[in-house]
Structure 1
Amino acid sequence: MPTSTLPVLVLSTCPDEASADAIAQALVGERLAACVTRLPGARSTYRWQGQVEQATEVQLLIKTGAATYPALVERLIELHPYELPEVLVVEPRDHYRPYGLWVNEQTPDR
């Protein structure tokens, strides 16, 4: 779990635009994310239940504050249609300070 005051980036994929949009709207609306960027057309190859699968997905880039991360993950899992959603957190080594301040203002401590 992130421990700094830096903003963090959470990665997750969705099966379609509708679920990606619903998740983005909920996370930003509930102030769990400052911004969610949706990248349609991601092509994933993965092993699932013993089979190699391929899927076209929507990649979510979710920007949040480190203090808000646990609540965001809990809500993302509740909203997500996948049985096993991707939830990866990336902590930056550095960031543009005004942007980091904005992210933290948009995602107050829980």
Structure 2
Amino acid sequence: MDHEIVIAQTTSDDEEQAKSLARGAVESKLAAGVHIDAPITAFYWWQGKVEAAQEWRISYMTSSDRLPALEAWLHERHPYDVPQWVTLPVTGGSEAYLSWVVDETRPQ
């Protein structure tokens, strides 16, 4: 396969916002699919103190060539000042699935 596949992740403290960020990325062909994990508890430093929050993890399956557009799209819409944005390379998987990701993220 010529294209690299990545999983990009962010979080949201609002379930409806998470669904909106998921659906919008798929509708825009920026991600082939998106998973939203059940609420997780996050602990983190923010403005000099430890915070805790309930969040939903959003995982985008996309191709590396669509990643910059997905990141820009997300940052325009995400309500956090500093949203989590991490990418994980996919180093293996079924050829059929990986091809599907590439096919579904081709710009129209």
What is residue 68 of structure 2 aligned with on the other side? 70
Please say if 1:50 is aligned against 2:48. Answer: yes
Cα offset, 1:96, TM superposition: 1.3
Q: CA RMSD in A?
A: 1.4
**Aligned-partner SS, 2:37:** strand
Gaps spanning 5+ residues in structure 1: where? Answer: none
Cα offset, 1:13, TM superposition: 0.4
Using the alignment, how far apart are the partners of 1:26 and 1:98 within structure 2? 24
Tell me if structure 2 keeps the 8 A contact 1:67–1:109. Answer: no
Identity of aligned residues (%): 31
Q: How does 1:27-38 map to 2 (within 5 A)?
A: 27-38=25-36
Of 84, 87, 91, 1:93 maps to 91
**Aligned-partner SS, 1:55:** strand
User: TM-score, structure 2 length as denominator?
Assistant: 0.94
User: TM-score, structure 1 length as denominator?
Assistant: 0.92
Using the alignment, how far apart are the partners of 2:101 and 2:53 within structure 1? 31
Cα offset, 1:93, TM superposition: 1.7
Using the alignment, how far apart are the partners of 1:21 and 1:14 within structure 2? 9
What amino acid is aligned across from residue 74 of structure 1 in structure 2? A
What amino acid is aligned across from residue 99 of structure 1 in structure 2? Y
